[in-house]
Amino acid sequence: MTIYLDHAATAPINDAAISALTEQVKKLGNASSVHNQGRAIRKDVEDARHLLSELVGCNPSEIIFTGSGTEANNLAIKGFYWNAIASNPKRKVIVTSAFEHHAILDPVEWLVEHEAAEQILIPITKVGVIDLDFLKDLIANRGAEIALISVMHSNNELGSLQPIAEVVKIAGDIPVHTDAVQSFGKVDFDFKQLGTTAATISAHKVGGPLGVAALILQRGLDLTPILHGGGQEREIRSGTLNAPAIVSFAAAAKSAIENRVANFKKVRELRDYFISQLKIAIPDLVINSVSDPALPGIVNATFPGTESDALLLLLDSEGISASAGSACSAGVPRPSHVLLALGISEADADASLRISIGSTNTKEEIDQVIKVFPSVVERARSAFVVNGLN
């Protein structure tokens, strides 16, 4: 029996998305072609764009399709930065939260290393949200130097929702981007109401296919492209449009939004049940994830006296899929920067796991996971001692 508890990494593709994808791949044509078949594919793409715009709360022309959330984030970070320094060479500061996804942090670091940008990280409070007072002081003192602000809508390891509307108010005329890939389809998200300059969403987080995402960018704005070619998407993003994936993305999003309230309730109940039972099974664990306002299904926990890689391997041997609270770059394990930003020690961060529950999970699966967890932790602790880590 396999139990999938890594929905924050990628969600199972839903029936609506599969049906739309299956039908669309049968159709022949390039959306940029002018013949009948090409125009038919273009219509399908534009219908999907229109549907997605209604679901996300934006104008259809504000949706720029990309190949991934990472590409969309790179386009936003680099595009806004290049625009800023072109208009004013002193605007070299990029502000992000200290616990952004690496799809944000890494392009910023690249700009720091290669183009003399300056990165400033907004600290994280003990309840897992950004320090708004720090941001206010920063903008009061150095606002004229800031090229852009990027703060994720919800954190992928803690589940905490961020005060994006407040960030927008504080930012004033400074562009604000939010990575909303974890939020869209799970919690309330409306681009227009938030007032951000740009936002990123991704299909595979809402039950759609891999390989398609979108940058939502306010009308009337241009970004310096990172891909050059046919200029298919507002001259900002080039590349043949992946019509089957785009149509499937819209279908998946529609299903997710229509069932969002019911799914939230189900997943939150499973998460709360899981935490309550896990505390009984492993009394000395520490829960790092937050309750509210938060995504419905994120559980981040530290298991003292263990190492996350061992926990993952042992869970995997039991048919349980989860993820570590640590990132791995170029094959070198390191503690999660998210947990470190929260003030957790390196040792505890390296003994943490993220369990992400989705709407396809059941109480029976949760009970099975709880049943095997004490043995998994015990074996992980034994390995920890044998390896001389204790």
pLDDT tens for 291-345 read: 899 999 999 999 999 999 999 999 999 999 999 854 444 455 678 999 999 999 9
Domain boundaries 260-386, CATH class:
alpha beta
The whole-chain average pLDDT of the chain stands at: 95
Percent of the chain scoring above 70 in pLDDT? 96
Q: What is the pLDDT of residue 335?
A: 85
Rounded to 5 degrees, what are φ and ψ at 138? Answer: -60, -45
Assess whether the previous peptide bond of 296 is cis (omega < 30° from 0): no
pLDDT tens for 68-82 read: 999 999 999 999 999
Query: Cα(318)–Cα(370) distance, rounded to whole angstroms?
Result: 12
**Beta-strand pair 198-202/3-4:** unpaired
Q: What is the pLDDT of residue 101?
A: 96
Question: CA dist 336 to 233, 345, 346, 380, Å?
Answer: 35, 10, 8, 19
- Phi/psi class of residue 362: alpha, beta or left (left: φ > 0; alpha: ψ in -120 to 50)? beta
Percent of the chain scoring above 90 in pLDDT? 94
Any idea what DSSP says for residue 58?
S
Identify residue 46 by its one-letter amino acid code: E
Q: What is the pLDDT of residue 334?
A: 75
Sorted by where each begins, the domain ranges of the chain are: 15-257, 260-386
Average pLDDT over residues 90-113: 97
Buried b / exposed e across 19-47, counting CB within 10 Å, b at 16+? ebbeebeeeebebeeeeeeeeebbebbee
Query: Cα(68)–Cα(246) distance, rounded to whole angstroms?
Result: 12
Is residue 383 over pLDDT 50? yes
pLDDT tens for 30-52 read: 999 999 999 999 999 999 999 99
Query: Cα(377)–Cα(220) distance, rounded to whole angstroms?
Result: 54
Q: What is the DSSP string of 228-260?
A: -SS-TBTTTB-S---HHHHHHHHHHHHHHHHTH
Q: Among all residues, which ones are annotated catalytic?
A: 328
Q: What is the pLDDT of residue 232?
A: 92
Query: Cα(343)–Cα(334) distance, rounded to whole angstroms?
Result: 15
Is residue 389 over pLDDT 70? no
State pTM to two decimals.
Answer: 0.94
Q: What is the pLDDT of residue 388?
A: 56
Average pLDDT over residues 107-111: 98
Domain boundaries 15-257, CATH class:
alpha beta
Tokens 């004490």, residue?
374
